[in-house]
């Protein structure tokens, strides 16, 4: 027969195992929630950027002007256009980082790559991107997307 002490130890071991299983489940739920939040924030940032383009006629004119002749922009306009390009680069880099962490799947990343390549097909956008040194590791990887 087993003693009371042995029974208590078995109950204690079982309680530890159950606690670890519950903790593992909670961590997984938290990870899933964090991933969903990251995707939501990325998509919300993209939506806001696109909404601004669609509703701000001054920005639309500036983008059109930059696409025709980036060199014809005033200093202020070049700055504003550069910020617009930088905002997009930040979105693409965030998507790339989330993909590397497994938050964004391959199919969704293909959509981000296609959007990136569409913008990089614009000479003015590409010229500004090439003048920015802030995205070194992303630059190396993204350079292969549009080949």
Smallest Cα–Cα separation from 98: which of 119, 87, 118, 112? 112
Between the alpha carbon of residue 137 and those of residues 4, 23, 110, the distances in Å are 62, 36, 19
Q: Does some domain include residue 27?
A: no
Higher local confidence (pLDDT), 113 or 3: 113
Residue 88 reports pLDDT greater than 80: yes
* Mean predicted lDDT score pLDDT of the chain: 86
What mean pLDDT do residues 92-99 have?
91
Smallest Cα–Cα separation from 53: which of 41, 42, 40, 63? 63
Q: Does some domain include residue 26?
A: no
Q: Does some domain include residue 49?
A: yes
Q: Does some domain include residue 105?
A: yes
**Per-residue tokens: 8:** 């208590």
What mean pLDDT do residues 43-72 have?
88
Q: Which residues constitute the domain of residue 52? A: 36-142
- For the chain, how many structural domains are there in total? 1
pLDDT band, very low/low/confident/very high, at 62 (cuts 50, 70, 90): very high
Q: Does some domain include residue 11?
A: no
């Amino acid at each position: 027969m087993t003693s009371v002490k042995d029974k208590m130890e078995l109950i204690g071991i079982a309680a530890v195992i159950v606690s670890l299983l519950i903790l593992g489940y909670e961590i997984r739920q938290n990870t899933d929630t964090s991933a969903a939040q990251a995707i939501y924030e990325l998509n919300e940032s993209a939506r806001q950027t696109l909404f601004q383009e669609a509703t701000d006629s001054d920005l639309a004119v500036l983008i059109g002007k930059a696409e025709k002749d980036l060199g014809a922009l005033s200093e202020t306009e070049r700055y504003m256009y550069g910020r617009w390009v930088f905002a997009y680069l930040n979105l693409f880099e965030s998507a790339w980082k989330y993909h590397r962490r497994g938050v964004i799947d391959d199919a969704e990343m293909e959509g981000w790559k296609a959007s990136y390549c569409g913008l990089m097909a614009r000479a003015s956008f590409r010229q500004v991107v090439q003048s920015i040194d802030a995205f070194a590791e992303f630059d190396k990887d993204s350079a292969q997307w549009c080949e």
